Structure formats: structure tokens, C-alpha cells
Amino acid sequence: MKFKEIEFKDNNSTRIYKDYINRVKNSVRILDKDNQQEILLEINSHIYESIKDNSKSKGEVEHLLDVLEMLGSPEIFLKSLVAEKKLEEATKTFNPVKIAKALLLNIGNGFSYIVFTFLYIFLFGFLFLVIAKIINPENVGLFYRPNDVFILGHYSNSAGISYAQYEKLGNWFIPAMLLLSAVLYVLLTLLLKLKRTLKIRSI
């Protein structure tokens, strides 16, 4: 369905309406075209149905102002909806940049999103280890000796102690970290999508 502006008799009503619609458009501009259109149509339909119901026979401008006041400021009431829609878009693409931006938008929408944000940050720590391994191959890796040594990452041998003989992955360290990062990334993103699905069903 294509968006169509509501027509008013009073020019002041038209001006007020267009200003409000422009604020809605500005609030949803970061979403894709389909989601922008969906939200715009829903709000426009609500305004149209509400102005038709003028049981108190108020003037057109006064009644429109009452309707828009009941809806509230689009910058406020659309904030959480836009954040949720943005997250939905991001999880469909599996794009890490888009997911990061969407999570930042959703941080204020619940503790679980804060947890997911920290988990994604932790995940990228494995990619940092890949870079560190390339720069300092002798001191970065998986070092393990039963009941004595367990290090996943970097250690300093400033005291003259070397754990090189306990390194377990060797040349497989970088492929292992890349594979682990990829698997965890997919799992986290699928969990994020599942969380959204369960949230929608509970509404």
C-alpha cells in the first residue's frame, strides 16, 4: 500500500499534520524502505481513523492537535520500535557492523541486550588473538600443562619463564580461533533472533 497524505480543509491543519509526518519520517529514516513505509502507514491510518471520530464536534485544528497529543512525540514513542526493527534487519543479514549498531540502539531496551553486547565484544577478542599470534607467535597460543598451566592468549616471559613447550595448537591456533569465532558468531546471532521471536510471540 502506498502512503497518501490526509487532506484537510484548514491550511493550519495541513501544516501541523505535515510537520508531524515529517518528524515520523525523520525518526524512522535509519530503517529500510519497507519498515519505514510500514510504520508510516500505521501511524497515518491511526491519525485518519482518530480524526474521523470527532464525537465532541471540535474544530479541525483543535481535534487534530488532540489526536497528535494522544499519539505523543514520534522521537520518543518510536525509539524502541525503531531499535527493534533495526535489530530484526541486522540479524537477517548476519552483518557484524549492522548488528553492533543495532545492539547499541537497543542497550536501553533491556538487560539482555547489554549481555549480548558484551558477548559480541568478548567474541571479537578471539579475532584479536589471531592478530596477536601473527605479531608475537611465540608468546600467544593455547598453553596447557595439567594442574599447572592454562593460558589462552598472551603471556609475558619477562621473568625468563617460557611456556613454549606447552603450546598445544601450534600452527592450528589461527584456524582454530577463526573457526571458533565464526561458530560463536553464528550461534549468538541465532540466539538473538530467537530472543526477538519469543519476545514478539509473548506480546
* Domain locations along the chain: 1-77, 78-203
Neighbours of 17 (CB within 10 A): 21
- For the record, the C-alpha cell of 147 comes out as 594442574
Tens digits of residue pLDDT in 47-64: 999 888 776 677 889 999
Encode pLDDT of 12-56 as tens digits: 999 999 999 999 999 999 899 999 999 999 999 999 998 887 766
The Cα–Cα gap between 42 and 190 comes to 29
Read off the pLDDT band of 202 (50, 70, 90).
very low
Q: Which residues make Cβ contacts (< 8 Å) with residue 58, sequence separation at least 6?
A: 66
